[in-house]
Structure 1
Amino acid sequence: MSHPIFEANESSPYGDLSREQFFNKHKILHQENFMLNKEKLKIYTQSWKPDPTTTPPPPPLRGVVAMIHGYKMESSWLFELNAVAIAKAGFLVCALDIQGHGYSQGTPGHIPNLENIISDCIQFFDTIKVENPTLPAFLYGESLGGAIAILVCLKQRENNDDQYWKGMVLSGPMCGISRKFKPIWPLEKLLPLVASIAPSFRIVITKPLARKSFKESWKGKLIGNSPNKLAYGKPTAATVLQFLRACDNIQKNCHLLRVPLLIVHGAEDRVCDPEAANSVFELVGSDDKTFKIFDGMWHQLIGEPNEKYELVFDTIMTWLQVKVKTLVV
């Protein structure tokens, strides 16, 4: 099964089709909504699954995959192609735009408190799980979304809910920020003070990420062509402080994780440090864990040449399918 990325072009992830035509072609039922979170913000949510009205009807659903996108990304557009590909394999896939991203409310690109986003994810994913109680549920996170996925699991562990997720897939997770992109000293030491005085103050504290995220330049341009592209600007002091604290939290507490785990990572990722991801992987308490590093690949694995990315995606789908087959639901 070819990944839908083969149909994309610089202008649209759906090629020459409209979004609805694209879903119809792939026999996907797509639903979207807004969720009111605890802060009274409208959070955009959506789901994809095989269309049950097609002839012949699709087989029963195999599981739920809850997806979390990265910083300055969204759950639609390019990220959505993975959701469609996973749904075509027989899964119910769900995702949300995190605060300040995509169609969700919030200051663009500003994350003053990562705990609020973790809470949003748990709130939305809980509704999907309640509606599908017999399906095994898996988490999927990319970049910052990978860090959020880990923190979601750690938060639910605090609530004695270790068995909520049957597995977790992390793609280039933010377990540590590459030294080449960390704030220069002494700015890193001053961040808590700056963030407390002026949390939304946007300053140049890292190098531009886009040029080191997508190896295929046309895919980087595709991200910029999203009709929902927001003017994120430079990251705020509070946002970067949240990133650094999240990495520290993950490194200190990852040994508590017991969830089956797959990490896929580009060896040449200069945004999220593969060495930090490997260190976290080694410390994770699960006996069922796999770390797959892809030589020569950058941060956004879908940003690699299509044939190479298909190898990455096949690794992910094989892992998910094996997990589903071995589970007793």
Structure 2
Amino acid sequence: MTHNQFRFSFQDTDFFGQSWQAEDTKAVIVLVHGMGEHSSRYADFVVPKLIENNFSVVSFDHFGHGKTKGKRGYCPSFDAVLDSVSRVIEKAKKLFPNKPIFLYGHSMGGNVVVNYALRKNPDLKGIVASSPFLGLAFEPPVWKIKMAKFLRKIFPKMTLNGDLD
């Protein structure tokens, strides 16, 4: 297994990414992490299992996560998140030309890969959505929703401390 790190810039943000190459790559997994995680969280268990089965892996840290520069927990928009995934898929295609590409996302990453597949109509072999965050377990009170919308106008980059990595 060969491990490499890379950086790319998008929307005034310096992103951190990494790849793990299997000896005999049969396909590539673009791994999209969840909320409060980072790409390295998958390096000790998930990535080695994929490598054992000849899947190479390319991943990155979302806006506001891990080693990607910027304010913790902040991203400009959901469309920007989807576009950052496009950048990583392009990187995977350059690293592993002519190999089938799968998107794998966990939790928030599961939501991202499902929406990416639905909205972008990508040239992918498939997606895996592990425990995808597809909705809230309960509806927040109306006053909280109104307060959040109001605060968003005054403090568009406001985040709450959620102990994000």
TM-score higher than 0.5: yes
Q: CA deviation at 1:33?
A: 1.2
Question: In proportion to residue count, which structure has more helix?
Answer: 1
| Partner residue, 2:132 | 173
**Seq. identity, %:** 24
3-state DSSP class of the match of 1:94?
Answer: strand
Q: 1:260-298 CA distances to partner (integer Å, 9 max, x unpaired)?
A: xxxxxxxxxxxxxxxxxxxxxxxxxxxxxxxxxxxxxxx
- CA pair 155-133 structure 1, distance change in 2 beyond 3 A: farther
3-state DSSP class of the match of 1:186?
Answer: helix
Q: 1:208-236 CA distances to partner (integer Å, 9 max, x unpaired)?
A: xxxxxxxxxxxxxxxxxxxxxxxxx149x
| Partner residue, 2:37 | 73
Residue 35 of structure 1 aligns with an amino acid whose one-letter code is F
1:137 aligned onto 2:101: yes
Q: 1:231-273 CA distances to partner (integer Å, 9 max, x unpaired)?
A: xx149xxxxxxxxxxxxxxxxxxxxxxxxxxxxxxxxxxxxxx
Q: Is the 8 A contact 1:49 1:88 kept in 2?
A: no
| Partner residue, 1:188 | 145
Q: What aligned pairs does 1:140-219 form with structure 2 within 5 A after superposition?
A: 140-157=104-121, 161=122, 164-179=123-138, 183-202=140-159
Question: In proportion to residue count, which structure has more strand?
Answer: 2
Residue 50 of structure 2 aligns with an amino acid whose one-letter code is I
| Partner residue, 1:31 | 4
Paired with 1:74 and 1:61, the residues of 2 have a C-alpha distance of: 24
| Partner residue, 1:61 | 25
Paired with 2:95 and 2:75, the residues of 1 have a C-alpha distance of: 30
| Partner residue, 1:44 | 16
Residue 30 of structure 1 aligns with an amino acid whose one-letter code is H
Q: CA deviation at 1:187?
A: 0.5
Q: CA deviation at 1:150?
A: 1.5
Paired with 1:196 and 1:132, the residues of 2 have a C-alpha distance of: 43
Query: Which one has more relative contact order, counting CA pairs under 8 Å at least 6 apart?
Result: 2
